[in-house]
Chain A
């Protein structure tokens, strides 16, 4: 594998002394699908960010006399049964879906990286105990637990972030721990220890930055998972509650009326699917670029 990478590098005449990141950027740029995915994501993010200013209609603006009409010049994606503009609703729904995606992933990132780094750095019995705990948690049926949590504590957004984040950190912890464990053997870490740096400083300054590649890759792949989970819960009526909205919730409304007004299902569905597509392509591309050894599965 190493020889292949070197050969590739020589092939494209990359000047000597490029850093890992520059090297990865070159590789990522050449992956057309990933670049399209990245572009699309940036577009979706900007649109969602600016929604309150650029949305063509108000979120709750009803036009009961209009009712549900198919896409037209005034309403590009049609309107729902209350005569509300679908494009506007999808834009607002996207804000929540993306927000859940990013925040829950950040929760997972924070817990997973910290836990994995401590276990990997400590090694020995502490490590064995901490990772066994991860194994046990991993065997738990978390989907069921999230539903249970939503039932018991009511359906609020904050809890949703925490619950989803609490599920997704396990794999992250495993990845980081593996990375840290191998990095810990390196001479520069020994040098840092002999200079009297505290473990916390070594982990923060020397180990985590060097384990960043796989973490970034896995983060990109966690976001679509999280968004899917949110949509799944909202579809069942156990996630986002009206008047908040998300793509999952819009899809579940669309299903109710899909026979008469199929566009109410198709457009939110397309929004969710294309965004997940873009995230997955970007994640795959990042994996190939940053972590060429990792298997594609």
Chain B
């Protein structure tokens, strides 16, 4: 197990380094300097600005100094918000996005696996068709459509819940969390259904039943562990998808989180901010993929042999 964790972690390092390098040079290759949209400034001011943002150095040197700064946790100043650093902005948005993501993930895992298990217990009956049809709707209805529809129905027509903001008024976290979680609940429902169906036909379950164990013990203790395995492996990629989903959800509900910062930075051509958030989010995603792989290997020992000769 330790061998697996060690080698799998080593794999993550080149990925992160590749992300940083590619992002850095992509952003540098962008046509038009970051100040080109501003009104004309005198050459001295231009030079001073370029020196401040290290644009006067050759690219390779810029890259090296960016890396050294990064290791020290310094992502440089924002191009767009004068006087504010990228770290500051990320740290400001992160807790909000993390909270939103956590609620969404909780909704997705709880509702999704419940629906999937229920469906798998009685396949090809109404108990299967109804939750799986709803799951299909969840997969085909993108968050940028579901969100506005929820706002229209529960926020405007019924006037039950606030339609924007985060933590400003009571209940304003409900709609964004549901909007973000719905699609993943649908995926998890399908994953856990197929996982459970596969496990349910295994010999060890027949043995468990033959021993005379009550059905709920058979399901809860023996079937769930194997049946929910695909869900655990899915959590890593789901986290990455949740992050990009937060771009849309935070834009719709005007939540000042990382996702909204990222989209705004993309519009404002705030290069240091784009660079910083890309590196930060990517590292986060790589780390979560790593954790989800480790969790899967912990539950399913066969996966650990991936690194055995």
Contacts and interface: CB of A to CB of B under 8 A. Distances in A.
A295 B230 CA distance: 11
A231 interface: yes
Given A152-B29, A251-B148, A262-B152, 18 more contacts: A136-B15, A140-B15, A143-B241, A143-B243, A144-B282, A148-B266, A151-B30, A151-B274, A232-B144, A232-B248, A236-B263, A251-B145, A258-B148, A265-B149, A272-B142, A273-B137, A281-B136, A297-B194
A224 B183 CA distance: 14
Binding site secondary structure of chain B: helix
B23 interface: yes
Q: For the side of the interface on B, what is the size category? A: 35 or more
B26 A296 contact: no
B198 interface: yes
B18 A295 contact: no
B145 A269 contact: yes
A235 B278 contact: no
Interface of A: 135-136, 139-141, 143-145, 147-154, 224, 228, 231-232, 235-238, 248, 251-252, 254-255, 258-259, 262, 265, 269, 272-273, 276-277, 280-281, 295-297
B184 interface: no
Nearest to B144: A235
A295 B136 CA distance: 16
A147 B160 CA distance: 35
A141 B140 contact: no
Nearest to A149: B26
B142 A144 contact: no
Interface in B193-238: 193-195, 198, 230
Contact of A236 (B152, B247, B286): B247
Given A232-B248, A238-B266, A258-B152, A277 B278 contact: no
Contacts of A224: 140
A276 B140 contact: yes
B19 interface: yes
Contact of B248 (A152, A236, A272): A236
B149 A297 contact: no
